[in-house]
Structure 1
Amino acid sequence: MDATLEQIGPRLRAARRDRGWTLEELATRAGMSSSTLSRLESGKRQASLPLLLPLTRQLGIRLDDLVPAGSGDPRVRRAIERRDGMVIAPLTLENSPVQAFKVTFPPRDHAPAPRVHDGYEWLFVLSGRLRLSLDDHEHIIERGEAAEFDTRMPHSLSATADGSAEVVSIFSASGERMHTHGAP
């Protein structure tokens, strides 16, 4: 049997035990016999959608939760983007639940116009000084400092006039789309 499929039974058992349910309790809730559930958990019965769907619904989990993620190449090999003088280097895989980037902002005399969009952002200044205009207030974030904010507030980011700034930014999915792909 495929090693991935061998994980289904133990993961199913763990989910049941996490809820403090016995075999009988889950089997009754899912409309199957205790022996069928026992054989599924021990790997003695092949898993099928008609068996797994009622179990996952009762457990409040997804089918994906029963199958381990592939352990492909963990290295991030996404292209660096250059836009509006910024250098944007991806630090996470494209399908990660959150996105992280190292962004180098060029020096600017003035803050760009603020924008508003769905999302949330966390940032850490690696070098230089970052100007964060947030809801009509200007904050200078120095090297070694961090900030977080709701991107539904009017905001803009830029380096100060005295030099570029390198920043690690972590975005929620909607914030990532806006900052790395530009305004719609």
Structure 2
Amino acid sequence: MTQEFSLDSVIRQRIRGLRLARGWSLDSLAARCGLSPSTLSRLETGHRRMALDQLVPIARALDTTLDALVEPVGDGDVVIRPEPSHAPGLTTWVLSEEGALNGKVVAKMRITHERPGEMGVHPGRDWFTVLSGTARLELGERTVLVRAGEVAEFSTMVPHAIGAHGGPVEILSIFNHDGGLAHLHGAGHASGS
């Protein structure tokens, strides 16, 4: 789809979308931001020009920032073309922009039997789903096999390592800040996950 929207139109859609996502009527939002329902209706439909003194209380009422409400639309950040990074037995593709998901990092990993199985710990929780193959999750004293289509979530304060079982495995992982540092920035290649 190559249709381009004016920023004005996008802001109107964002206001309406955020209002509806919260299940609020025009009256509900109006009461929260100090504008009349008719003014909000005209703003959302494009029958009234937007002004900064209206957008600030609307953004506050919708629990967002003015910056997020008026952020320009562009296609530059729609497609991420990840470059693989390699370590023994592990190829990683970071699929999210740094810090784009509230400090979370999404990564695809291909693990083979050559990966060292050293267990590591770090604050937080790890989450992964197996795309293909079978993952061997060493979790403290336990070994858990996680097959294609299954999901694992666990406390990372328990010593852990993820390996391949019976052939290569591909997983999709979501890490918090500490997990991203441990798993993706050098130490993770030696720390087990």
TM-score (norm 1): 0.72
Counterpart CA distance in 2 for 1:69 and 1:147 is 34
2:8 to 5, 21, 32: 5
Corresponding residue of 1:88: 92
Write out per-residue CA displacement over residues 36-59 of structure 1, whole angstroms, 9 at most, x where no aligned residue. Answer: 434322223333332112112223
Aligned to 1:45: 48
RMSD: 3.3
Contact 1:122 1:170 (8 Å CA) reproduced: yes
Q: Is the 8 A contact 1:12 1:66 kept in 2?
A: no
Identical aligned residues as a percent: 27
Work out which of the two has the higher radius of gyration on C-alpha atoms and give 1 or 2. 1
Partner SS for 1:168? strand
Aligned-partner Cα distance in 2 for 1:147–1:29: 40
Give the paired residue count: 176
Looking at structure 1, the residues matched to 63 and 186 of structure 2 have their Cα atoms a distance apart, in angstroms, of: 37
Structure 1 pair 183–37 and aligned structure 2 pair: CA distance change class (3 A): same
Kindly provide the CA deviation profile for residues 122-178 of structure 1, in whole angstroms up to 9, marking residues without a partner as x.
131623x53311022123445x36341222322112235xx6522212213333332
Quote the offset at 1:88 in angstroms. 1.5
Listed one character per residue, the Cα deviations across residues 1-55 of structure 1 (whole Å, up to 9, x for unaligned) are x6122122243234445534334x5334423345543432222333333211211
Q: Which runs of 4+ in 1 moved over 4 A?
A: 65-69
Q: CA deviation at 1:86?
A: 1.8
Aligned to 1:103: 110
Could you tell me the TM-score, scaled by structure 2's length? 0.69
Inter-CA distance 14–66: structure 2 relative to 1 (3 Å threshold): farther
Gaps (5+ residues) in structure 2? 189-193
